[in-house]
Amino acid sequence: MRPHAVLLDFDDTLLDNSVVPESVEQACEEMADAVGDLDRAKLLRANMAAWSGYWPEVERRCWLDELDILDVGREVWRRALHACGHDDPSIVTLAYETHQRIGRAMLRLFDDVPDFLAALDEAGIATALVTNSSTMAQLAKLEAVGLATAFDAVVISGQVGVAKPDPGIFGRALDELHLTAADVWHVGDSLSTDVAGAVAAGIWSVWLNRTGRQLAPSDPRPDGEIASLRELREQLLAGTNDCP
């Protein structure tokens, strides 16, 4: 049936994170200009290596607010600069702040998001954001893209102490909306957190597959699949009850 509410993931569902590599590249360029003996390409490689080595160690801690993702970013720059022969804390701070400035300026929603949220509002369908991240970082991003007050409920894993795919985080959203699992859909890009979590919570899961990825035999099975939020928008405006 047509839902009373739609739960939404944030990163890579509403927020386009494809700009992150470009923001790192620009930060490396600015740092190379600011520090005479710093090679841009070497710093970029070091940053990528530092991130890929450190993030898997701390991702879960960030989801539960045991560590803020902003502090992770600072540590990644410290490790990258150390690999390039720079241990001056002031240079680490400059790199971190440069990247934060560039990253904030580049934050953007996918182009189908504003019309989709407007369609939900027009149809009288409530919304809740259900997202895995540290609290301060996620609230800052919501503010930066103009979505700080866009939802009827905002449930951040760091704030509630439970993260997708644990069904408990979906339960918190249902409690805030005063609805049951049968009343809502969850839309997200991740099979392992969004789809698996919604299924575990007994919620109709809609996989937002923007990249055209093929399901593997071991992947969680969504109840519906869309390539764009426009597909759901058109359905809602048409007043139909079938999930794509």
Question: Residue 212 maps to which CATH number?
Answer: 3.40.50.1000
Residue 84 neighbours by CB distance under 10 Å: 21
Q: Are residues 125 and 215 in the same domain?
A: yes
Q: Are residues 152 and 223 in the same domain?
A: yes
In order, the DSSP letters of 47-99 are HHHHHHHHHHHHHHHHHTTSS-HHHHHHHHHHHHHHHTT---HHHHHHHHHHH
Q: Are residues 115 and 169 in the same domain?
A: yes
Number of structural domains in the chain = 2
Residue 13 neighbours by CB distance under 10 Å: 22
Each residue's pLDDT tens digit, 47-103: 999 999 999 999 999 999 999 999 999 999 999 999 999 999 999 999 999 999 999
User: 211-238 b/e with 16+ CB inside 10 Å = b?
Assistant: eeeeeeeeebebbbbbeebebbbebbee
Residue-level pLDDT at 244: 54
Is residue 244 in a domain?
no
pTM of this structure: 0.91
Residue-level pLDDT at 66: 93
Is residue 211 in a domain?
yes
Q: Are residues 113 and 98 in the same domain?
A: no
Q: Are 199 and 227 in contact (CB under 8 A)?
A: no
The whole domain housing 23 covers 17-106
Residue-level pLDDT at 36: 86
Nearest Cα to Cα of residue 129 among 109, 154, 147:
154
Of 106, 132, 163, the residue at which a domain comes to its end is: 106
Residue-level pLDDT at 2: 84
184: part of which helix (H) or strand (E)? strand 184-188
Amino acid at 119: A
- Residues contacting residue 127 through CB under 8 Å, at least 6 positions apart: 5, 6, 7, 8, 117, 120, 150, 151, 152, 153
Is residue 243 in a domain?
no
Residue-level pLDDT at 145: 96
Q: Are residues 99 and 203 in the same domain?
A: no
Distances 217 to 196, 200, 210, 214 between C-alpha atoms, Å:
14, 18, 19, 10
Is residue 216 in a domain?
yes
∠ Cα 64 46 77 (to 5°) = 50
- Both tokens of residue 169? 């985080």
Of 56, 77, 106, the residue at which a domain comes to its end is: 106
Q: Are residues 76 and 113 in the same domain?
A: no
Is residue 230 in a domain?
yes
SS3 of 119, please? helix
Phi, psi of 83 (to 5 degrees): -65, -20
- Residues contacting residue 116 through CB under 8 Å, at least 6 positions apart: 229, 230, 232, 233
Nearest Cα to Cα of residue 9 among 131, 115, 125:
131
Nearest Cα to Cα of residue 193 among 60, 36, 56:
60
Residue-level pLDDT at 233: 86
Is residue 180 in a domain?
yes
Q: Are residues 58 and 128 in the same domain?
A: no
Residue-level pLDDT at 242: 52
Amino acid at 196: A
Residue-level pLDDT at 183: 96
Q: Are residues 136 and 186 in the same domain?
A: yes
Q: Are residues 180 and 195 in the same domain?
A: yes
Is residue 100 in a domain?
yes
Q: Are residues 234 and 117 in the same domain?
A: yes
Q: Are 122 and 237 in contact (CB under 8 A)?
A: yes
Low-confidence ranges of the chain (pLDDT < 50): 241
Q: Are residues 193 and 178 in the same domain?
A: yes
